Structure 1
Amino acid sequence: MNQDVFPQGTHIGRTALRVTNLGEVTDFYRDVVGLTVLEGSDTRSVLGVADTPLLVLDGDPTAPDRHQSSAGLYHTAFRVPSRAALGDALSRIRDNWQLGGASDHWVSEALYLTDPNGNGVEIYRDFPREEWPHNDDGSVRIGTEPLDLDAVDAAATGATRAPPETDIGHIHLEVSSLDAFRDFYIDTLGFEVQTAAPAASFVSASGYHHHIGANTWHRRTDPIAGRGLSWFEIVVPDGDALAAVRSRIEDRGSQVTETDDGLVVADPDAIEVRIRADPSTR
């Protein structure tokens, strides 16, 4: 096994958002995205599918707006297992919200929208992996073409909840520097580059089209601040993989904190990244 990169099975775990209107945002992720409220209080909601938490919402009515110069979240991408599930998501969006965009990315079909606090949301389904186009160097090609919404709509079954196979397939960040992003997420943590686009970069583990995207389209210059993304999680398959990434972080001189669940490190834009081993392998 190459100790310098994330191994097979690495994926994105939970995402946490700081929101000013907890009830309204919770309702959005329940009724539009289709998640189930697994835990709830006056200050926090945890939503997911089946018994798996995917999204943590921390309510903070006094949280300042994210400044237009601050790095942070571009979107959280919820991956559903089929076109039928994507069709059901489209129906929920049309019934309860507003669709912001839709694209065929050659590797996936994606719907885009924005939550009540201005956080970007993607709901998508992957095409079969053997159908993904690749460059000569083996990296995955990601494009953008109009999505056939009529075909997606025709596949809908009427389900009001996302299926239990739903997960967070990737997270997309707005960063201040793509060079610093690549230095941290590739050279330090161990992701591998898949696709570069104008002012954007997409990295992954084990040949996935991307687990993390980053862009500088809006010319963010400052560290993350205000409401929006609080932290996100990278899940590695076992304790050996966790030890390997800790060694890489320390070798690169980055500060890492050990917790009961795993590791916590800040990226170049002060975005908190939590890394833990899959609990099923402990």
Structure 2
Amino acid sequence: MNEKYKIPAQTRIGHIHLKVSNIDNALTFYHDLLGFEITERMGDQAVFLSAGGYHHHIALNTWNSKDAPAASKNGVGLFHTAIVYPARKDLAAMLKRLLEADYKLTGGADHGVSEALYMDDPDGNGVELYWDRPRDEWPKKPDGSIRMYTRNLDIQDLLAELDK
């Protein structure tokens, strides 16, 4: 145990399972607005959603949370779920969809390595939608390590991606 363990580079986070107060309200956000597909539903207690037919990327349940109040912003727990889009154009299309639905964004940021949109789901859980820039474009410090930052996201430039 003297050797420091390093997690394999191919490791990934497979899915997130959220407690929600109402399955139908959560589905309006995750299925109807964000476009995740329902892979399985267990009445009004649980539903599993995916992108592209995977068994599930997001699970929602009311097992211990039916009709519960929104998540506290000041307590411990999940800060946000981050959903990565394959290309900038995909994020732009989702931004357009959110604007057309008049869905409230809580922020937008350029992190150098990525561009992101932030919002809350119906239960107050934070959600980040983003795309990663190619690794060779990530900003670097003089020692070669990654230099992330937070700058305002240029919404108009992102939307212009749809015209390309």
Q: What band does the TM-score fall into relative to the shorter chain?
A: 0.7 to 0.9
CA distance in 2, matches of 1:6, 1:28: 33
Match of 1:73 among 61, 68, 78: 78
Q: CA deviation at 1:68?
A: 5.5
The aligned residue for residue 99 of structure 2 is 94
Q: CA deviation at 1:152?
A: 1.3
- Find out whether 1:124 has 2:130 as its counterpart: yes
> Please, which runs of 5 or more residues in structure 1 have no aligned partner?
158-282
Give runs of aligned pairs for residues 182-201 of structure 1, distance below 5 A: none
Q: Deviations 1:213-272 (Å, cap 9, x if unpaired)?
A: xxxxxxxxxxxxxxxxxxxxxxxxxxxxxxxxxxxxxxxxxxxxxxxxxxxxxxxxxxxx
The aligned amino acid for 2:91 is: L
Q: Which has the higher strand share?
A: 1
The aligned residue for residue 153 of structure 2 is 147
CA distance in 1, matches of 2:53, 2:116: 25
CA distance in 2, matches of 1:67, 1:145: 26
CA RMSD of aligned residues (A): 1.9
TM-score by length of 1: 0.52
Matched residues, number: 156
Residues 138, 70 of structure 1: alpha-carbon distance in 2 compared, 3 angstrom cutoff: same
**Percent identity at matched positions?**
38
The aligned residue for residue 228 of structure 1 is none
The aligned residue for residue 40 of structure 1 is 41
Q: CA deviation at 1:131?
A: 0.9
Residues 69, 120 of structure 1: alpha-carbon distance in 2 compared, 3 angstrom cutoff: closer
> Please, which runs of 5 or more residues in structure 2 have no aligned partner?
none
Residues 57, 106 of structure 1: alpha-carbon distance in 2 compared, 3 angstrom cutoff: same
The aligned residue for residue 22 of structure 1 is 23
CA distance in 1, matches of 2:107, 2:48: 27
Deviates more, 1:110-119 or 1:34-43: 34-43
SS at match of 1:155: helix
CA distance in 2, matches of 1:68, 1:35: 25
Does the 8 Å CA contact 2:71/2:124 hold for their aligned counterparts? Answer: no
Q: CA deviation at 1:65?
A: 4.9
Give runs of aligned pairs for residues 4-15 of structure 1, distance below 5 A: 4-15=5-16
The aligned residue for residue 87 of structure 2 is 82
Q: CA deviation at 1:141?
A: 1.3
Q: CA deviation at 1:57?
A: 0.3
